[in-house]
Amino acid sequence: MGNSLPKGHKKLLNAWAFYDWANSVYNLTISSAVFPIFWGALTIVRDNDDNIISDTVTFLGVNFNNDSLISYVTALAFLIVSFISPFLSGIADYVGNKKNFLKFFCYLGALSCIGLYWFSLENLFFGLLCYLLALIGFWGSIVFYNSYLPDIAFPEQQDAISAKGYSLGYIGSVILLIINLIMILKYDWFGFENEGLPTRLSFLMVGVWWIGFSQYTYYYLPKGNKKDKLSKDILFNGFKELKSIWRALKDNIELKRYLFAFFVYSMAVQTIMLIATYFGIEELDWGEQDATTGLIISILLIQLVAIAGAFLTSKASGKYGNIKTLIVINIIWIIICVYAYTITTPGQFYVAAAIVGLIMGGIQALSRSTYSKLLPENAVDTASYFSFYDVSEKIGIVIGMFSYGLVAQVTGSVRYSILFFIIFFVIGVFLLFRVPRNEK
């Protein structure tokens, strides 16, 4: 049987990494590229000269700014994920059926993406519910996916296979995005009357891609590592385990200090990735160039450069150590924030996008594998440890998004929000310096 491969086996590692290829299409098409443009087209009313007349959406009888509404739904989804993941990971570790949970969230996310095909202003509640559930499905599955890393790979393999996962994700998601963009921009080639139907078909294709390619991962991944039966108090077992992990952190200074550093710099990294498109729309003078095409070019640029970034970071961490490499990447983020504050033209935006891509793939892959390496040896409750990691990241996103909105609201410009993120990176660097380093 395929699923009885030993830990560290090349086929097992590749099957694990391949889940990134399957699910990353959600992140690119739904989070970054096609859905935000679709949402804008659906909710913004323009005059003949392309000036915005209205960007207000009525939802549940209340008028919302279109960006505010989608931000609130996004924040709510991240809060739900933060709350449920301790339940989930505790159950998964206790019962030993991590794979079933990974499948459940994968199918929830993918079917919700398919549901976005029917998104319209008339079906606003249904559409936003699908958007919410797709986000919960994606991030819920990531908890279980990440928690497999120490189970399937030895410490010396983890940096490379983590980077390979991210790289596969970038390649797969770019391939599907290019197919979708050809359908949308050249809709007449395929006999469509306008870009509306191919745009909605791209959401359907994300769901089919995600379910289809994940089957290879499921074939080889082990079921789990415990065989205990389900009992009444199992539901709160995740919270009990988180408490015991919190207590264990007191004795593991290295892991505890790293987690605090990750929490702070991740707030800024994740928020910048979520708001980059809005910054491009609001703050740049696109002139004759079409803003939509320009933004998609920059998104593709980030994805492609990130492949190289993940591998370069993996090599750097092998040579200089994980913590030193993370410190350097955080310092580069500070420089980018200062540069982003000054940019006004699409060309400058592309330069910023290329550098962001280079360090975005690196910081994500390296943060995940550094945490995995710092876990106590032979830790069986890896899903609970990774639940801790994921909850930190999600709460960070909620705080980051709130800070971004608040600063933009008070100052009237998202530029000042970018400057504000420098504080997070500076604190992140300071905290990383405090992590005791005994890396081989």
Would you say the pTM of this structure is higher than 0.85? no
Distance from C-alpha of 367 to C-alpha of 345, rounded to nearest angstrom: 32
Q: Is pLDDT at 423 greater than 60 in this prediction?
A: yes
Least confident of 156-165, 303-312, 408-417: 408-417
* Chain segment 351-360, per-residue pLDDT in tens: 888 888 888 8
pLDDT computed for residue 1 by the predictor: 42
pLDDT (tens digit, 9 = 90+) per residue, 90-133?
A: 666 666 678 888 899 999 999 999 999 999 888 899 999 999 99
pLDDT exceeds 50 at position 221? yes
Token code pair at residue 56: 């207000």
The per-residue pLDDT for range 311-320, each reduced to its tens digit, is 888 888 888 8
Q: What confidence score (pLDDT) does residue 30 get?
A: 87
Domains and CATH numbers, the chain: 8-46+61-226+246-433 (1.20.1250.20)
